[in-house]
A = this chain, B = another copy of it.
């Protein structure tokens, strides 16, 4: 793993090690804002409160005994690819590997909310992690805050999962043991780790991690508006060759990678070996799985001439969304999905 920050741990998958649809737990990127909170399963409880008829306090055993569901879901850090931005922007300098795809097993949030009985006034569901600390960027609240995020009631009821297993194993500590949310199709910031409390609210929540942080400017005829990051933007990434790899001239090379989008499935992946001037279609592998990435490959005849080449890849989803050529500055330090240059040397 590439260490982007030692403590709290921010670890990146070396993306060239991609080896199949599921990312092994030990290679799955780790994004932490605060130290891993200690957990004692004997006293641990998940509380569900707020605009509900019957507030709940559930033990780990009670949750694990409920009917479960297993879904594959790709998680991408909203700052993935940030190291490609020039000039540099603040935040963890992720390369290509702050993304992974795993199978998550747990209890649908809808089942728990049904048990608690949503009141008619419910509009959002706040997910609160046990991790906490102080933030440093202005404008900032004073004192310690928990890592907290809200999602709309509709998303909470649709497909949000509270997972206690990752790829068939007990959820690792760095991924949120004992319980984390999985909000399919959304940037991973919403998939709260170390989940300890769920609060149903009757008005929108304006917490730090969905206003000053993890937000973007949406153009609007009345002026740009600050909105929380939600769904992942369509994107393809090249796993191999890796950046600055040296390749033999005039050979056939199998370029591989993954592509993903929120909701809509990937319709097409294209590859360019001349910095985006010309494109050839890549071949999608396997079958589409909703909210999971899709592997692709492309047979590439490396050029006969020696020198540097800029590879690019771009994905289009079934709704017609394609990766843009240029960065949208209103996205600040997040949602980086323009076509990235992958430079290699032909020798």
Given contacts A211-B211, A212-B212, contact A226 B139 (CB under 8 A): yes
Min CB–CB distance A213 → chain B (angstroms): 8
- Are B330 and A224 in contact, with the CB atoms below 8 A? no
Task: Note all chain B residues with C-beta closer than 8 A to A208.
Answer: 217, 223-224, 226
CB-CB contacts of A207-218 with B at 8 A, as 1s and 0s? Answer: 110011001010
Task: Note all chain B residues with C-beta closer than 8 A to A139.
Answer: 212, 215, 217, 226, 332-333
- Are A223 and B211 in contact, with the CB atoms below 8 A? no
Size category of the binding interface on chain A? 20 to 34
> Does A66 make an interface contact (CB < 8 A)?
no
A207 to B142, CA, bound (A): 23
Min CB–CB distance A88 → chain B (angstroms): 13
Name A's B-contacting residues (CB within 8 A): 90, 126, 128, 137-142, 145-146, 148, 199, 201, 204-208, 211-212, 215, 217, 222-227, 329-330, 332-333
- Are A223 and B128 in contact, with the CB atoms below 8 A? yes
Q: Which of A128, A146, A223, A225 has the most CB of B within 10 A?
A: A223
Task: Note all chain B residues with C-beta closer than 8 A to A215.
Answer: 139
Task: Note all chain B residues with C-beta closer than 8 A to A90.
Answer: 138
Picked from B126, B226, B333, the residue with its CB within 8 Å of the CB of A222 is: B126
Min CB–CB distance A212 → chain B (angstroms): 6
Task: Note all chain B residues with C-beta closer than 8 A to A332.
Answer: 138-140
